[in-house]
């Protein structure tokens, strides 16, 4: 059976948790493929509000095996805490499978991120301070520690000793901080290892077997395309690759397995942290979107920057991910606007771009070219079919499809499962 990739198409916070939860119904395995506990999924299921950061939202379905694949960076303290929270809501968590190849977020990653972001001053990226960047940097530098290292005390100690020598030199000599104690880290992490052990599996073999047995696999990305390390607005990005291609590298399956690539799209755009955002609205309309959409970060509580729908960004996301369909979220937030704006291109130095400008500096200076479109005044959160929506709302969805050239398969008008309206 083919696999489905589900990912964010903007700067994250597109409502992936809700969409993944909806799509997970027909799946047997749900795989998280990158990022760490910098992501935050809020899921409302059967009246329960759950905030998931590392665990795939498929955990809520008893028939689904949730999997954390190689490309995710894992803070073991956080994972165990999250498992505990989910367990306390009455959900059985023993089905979780964790790859032994995942890199660990270590205490020095958190410490180093704090001091380096402070050091950058007004040039700081505004990261989530979860140690994500430093952990991926060590992975690339080949000095990272992995989940599997936790199960060999000698190796764990040896690797930690080597890496801590360098990290402590940086912390003490460069940043004037206290050094971290190797023994204390070993003691804590080996204790956590015992608790993690039952979940650790060869996830690539598990997925291969599942696909061969005709089971449905969904690969779930965190953050969004514009935060991708290679394809996003570098350096204002996260340190992993949310794009579809990476789902395969992380899960360890081949491209022929993938049939659907679902892009999660918010009906307007938000961004947290620094970096270019051409359709940002700093006026009343942006404020209104933020209030109606409750645009505050799940992880850091930061207020999200808000703006109009950007078809250039979505066309780009459709191209780099090979999107086959769109899942449009938070359409209800746009109720009450008589007219809406959609960005169809950018103007930079008198030149018009319909695609992302080829140089980052041009993108920084991009002025949106807007078209106006009729909105709708009534609330739409009680709509249960696409046809229930007012003419303006349907027109808005159809215009997005036209501008991007990818069909919208589901429109979401609220956080609950029954507020997802399938089209066609």
Report the residue number, 296 or 378, with the smaller CB distance to ligand IMP. 296
3-state DSSP assignment of residue 249? helix
Report the residue number, 58 or 275, with the smaller CB distance to ligand IMP. 275
393's CB contacts (< 8 A; 6+ apart) are 331, 334, 335, 376, 380
Compute the distance between CA of residue 32 and CA of residue 34 in angstroms, rounded to an integer. Answer: 6
326's CB contacts (< 8 A; 6+ apart) are 9, 262, 263, 264, 265, 314, 400, 401, 404, 406, 407, 408, 409
Let me know if 13 is a catalytic residue: yes
**If you search the block for the tokens 């919208």, which residue do you land on?**
408
The distance of closest approach from Cβ of residue 302 to ligand IMP in the complex, given in angstroms and rounded to an integer, is: 7
The distance of closest approach from Cβ of residue 73 to ligand IMP in the complex, given in angstroms and rounded to an integer, is: 10
Contact positions toward ligand IMP, by CB under 6 A?
12-13, 38-40, 125-128, 130, 132-133, 222-223, 227, 238-239, 272-273
DSSP designation for 70: T
Least Cα distance to 214 among 28, 9, 5 occurs for: 28
**Cα 166 to Cα 10, 63, 114, 161, 370, distances in angstroms:** 37, 45, 17, 9, 51
Report the residue number, 12 or 345, with the smaller CB distance to ligand IMP. 12
The single residue of 41, 103, 109, 216 carrying the catalytic annotation is 41
Report the residue number, 278 or 392, with the smaller CB distance to ligand IMP. 278
H/E stretch holding 239: none
Query: Is-contact 36 299, C-beta < 8 A?
Result: no
The distance of closest approach from Cβ of residue 30 to ligand IMP in the complex, given in angstroms and rounded to an integer, is: 17
Query: Is-contact 207 29, C-beta < 8 A?
Result: yes
The distance of closest approach from Cβ of residue 138 to ligand IMP in the complex, given in angstroms and rounded to an integer, is: 14
Let me know if 41 is a catalytic residue: yes
The single residue of 13, 70, 138, 310 carrying the catalytic annotation is 13
DSSP states of 149-178 as a string? GGG-HHHHHHHHHHHHHHHHHIIIIIT-PP
The distance of closest approach from Cβ of residue 132 to ligand IMP in the complex, given in angstroms and rounded to an integer, is: 4
Least Cα distance to 352 among 339, 370, 334, 340 occurs for: 370
Residues 110-120 as b or e (16 or more Cβ within 10 Å = b): bbbbbebbeee
Report the residue number, 219 or 340, with the smaller CB distance to ligand IMP. 219
Report the residue number, 80 or 125, with the smaller CB distance to ligand IMP. 125
Residue nearest to ligand IMP (CB): 273
- Which amino acids are annotated catalytic? 13, 41
């Amino acid at each position: 059976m083919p696999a489905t990739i589900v990912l964010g198409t903007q700067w994250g916070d597109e409502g992936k948790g809700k969409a993944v939860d909806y799509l997970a119904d027909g799946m047997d395995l749900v795989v998280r493929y990158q990022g760490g506990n910098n992501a935050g999924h809020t899921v409302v299921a059967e009246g329960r509000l759950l905030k998931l950061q590392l665990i795939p939202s498929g955990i809520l379905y008893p028939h689904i095996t949730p999997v954390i694949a190689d490309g995710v960076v894992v803070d073991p303290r956080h994972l165990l805490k999250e498992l505990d929270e989910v367990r306390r809501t009455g959900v059985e968590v023993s089905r979780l499978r964790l790859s032994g190849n995942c890199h660990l977020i270590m205490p020095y990653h958190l410490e180093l991120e704090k001091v380096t972001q402070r050091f950058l001053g007004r040039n700081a990226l505004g990261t989530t301070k979860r140690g994500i960047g430093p952990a991926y940097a060590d992975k690339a530098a080949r000095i990272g520690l992995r989940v599997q290292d936790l199960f060999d005390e000698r190796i764990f100690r040896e690797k930690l000793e080597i890496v801590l020598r360098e990290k402590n030199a940086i912390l003490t000599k460069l940043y004037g901080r206290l050094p971290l104690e190797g023994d204390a880290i070993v003691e804590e992490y080996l204790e956590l290892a015992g608790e993690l052990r039952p979940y650790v599996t060869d996830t690539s073999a598990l997925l291969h077997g599942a696909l061969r047995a005709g089971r449905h696999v969904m690969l779930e990305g965190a953050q969004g395309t514009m935060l991708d390390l290679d394809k996003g607005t570098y350096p204002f990005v996260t340190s992993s690759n949310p794009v579809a291609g990476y789902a395969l590298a992380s899960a360890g399956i081949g491209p022929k397995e993938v049939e659907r690539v679902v892009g999660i799209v918010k009906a307007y755009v938000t961004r947290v942290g620094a970096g270019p955002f051409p359709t940002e609205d700093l006026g009343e309309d942006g404020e209104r979107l933020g209030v109606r959409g409750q645009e505050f970060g799940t992880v850091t509580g930061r207020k999200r920057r808000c703006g109009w729908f950007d078809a250039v960004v979505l066309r780009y996301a459709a191209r780099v991910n090979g999107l086959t369909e769109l899942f449009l979220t938070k359409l209800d937030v746009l109720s009450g606007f008589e007219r809406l704006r959609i960005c169809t291109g950018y103007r930079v130095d008198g030149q018009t771009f319909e695609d992302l400008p080829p140089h980052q500096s041009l993108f920084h200076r991009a002025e949106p070219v807007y078209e106006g479109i009729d909105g709708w005044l009534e609330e739409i959160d009680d709509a249960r079919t696409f046809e229930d929506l007012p003419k303006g709302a349907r027109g808005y969805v159809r215009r997005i499809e036209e501008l991007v050239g990818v069909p919208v398969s589901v429109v979401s008008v609220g956080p609950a499962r029954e507020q997802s309206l399938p089209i066609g």
